[in-house]
Amino acid sequence: MKIIGIAGGTGSGKSTFTNRLKAAFGSRIAVLYHDNYYRSQDSVPPEERKKVNYDHPDALETDRLVRDLRELKAGNPIDSPVYDFSTHNRSRRTIHIEPREIILVEGILVLSDPLLRDMLDVKIFVEADADERILRRVIRDVKERGRDLEGIVDQYLSTVKPMHYLYVEPTRSLADLVINSGMNEVAFEVMKSKIEKWLEDR
């Protein structure tokens, strides 16, 4: 089994790149989203949840993600948690994931944790200008994550932006490949060929 990590700032195009690879290989690839491992906040009142720093590594249960990857590597299925951004909490659902030859792990901080990073066979960092990333995030958070403009701006200035420069951006230098867009055709072809080779060699 090979594990590919896809990191990068919010709105950089991580999901875009991940989804293109997934679409090319279908059921031979499984995807684990680090976002699904945001900590459960059952005991935190809804108003308080909005104030949490979700861009700090401590907001994520990365040790559970590492355990799940180890299980998959050992040939065992896992039940991944599912996160609900509209309630800032884990949903009651889980996703059953069977071991696959290729696993993609996507999230802003997947290159930040040393244990997780050491499990990755390829480390990718997707970059995009900060203004483009925040503009994309505004549209996405309003349309898909139940947020309002004022809240998005407050959160961006108070936590998302400073944490990006503290924890996300420094992991760029740890990547094997830095790509300038999730739509980058050359990077897609390179990764597609690499995955095809892995699958042939099995």
Q: Which stretch of DSSP H or E encloses residue 125? A: strand 122-126
Q: Are 106 and 165 within 8 A, CB to CB?
A: no
* Cβ-based nearer residue to ligand ADP, 101 or 169: 169
6-14, 62-70, 113-121, 181-189 -> range binding ligand L45E5XJ5 (CB under 6 A): 6-14
Residue 15 engages ligand ADP in binding (rule: CB under 6 A)? yes
Question: CA-to-CA distance for 139 and 96, rounded, in angstroms?
Answer: 30
Residue 22 engages ligand ADP in binding (rule: CB under 6 A)? no
Q: Which stretch of DSSP H or E encloses residue 159? A: none
Q: How far is CA 99 from the centre of its chain?
A: 19
Residue 167 engages ligand L45E5XJ5 in binding (rule: CB under 6 A)? no
Site for ligand L45E5XJ5 in 84-143 (CB under 6 A): 85, 88, 108
Selected binder of ligand L45E5XJ5 within 55, 68, 113, 127 (CB under 6 A): 55
* Cβ-based nearer residue to ligand ADP, 14 or 164: 14
Question: CA-to-CA distance for 25 and 6, rounded, in angstroms?
Answer: 16
Smallest distance, ligand ADP to C-beta of residue 195, A: 19
Q: Which stretch of DSSP H or E encloses residue 46? A: helix 46-49
Q: Are 99 and 29 within 8 A, CB to CB?
A: no
Question: Mask: binding to ligand ADP, 111-140, rule CB under 6 A, as x and -?
Answer: -------------------------x---x
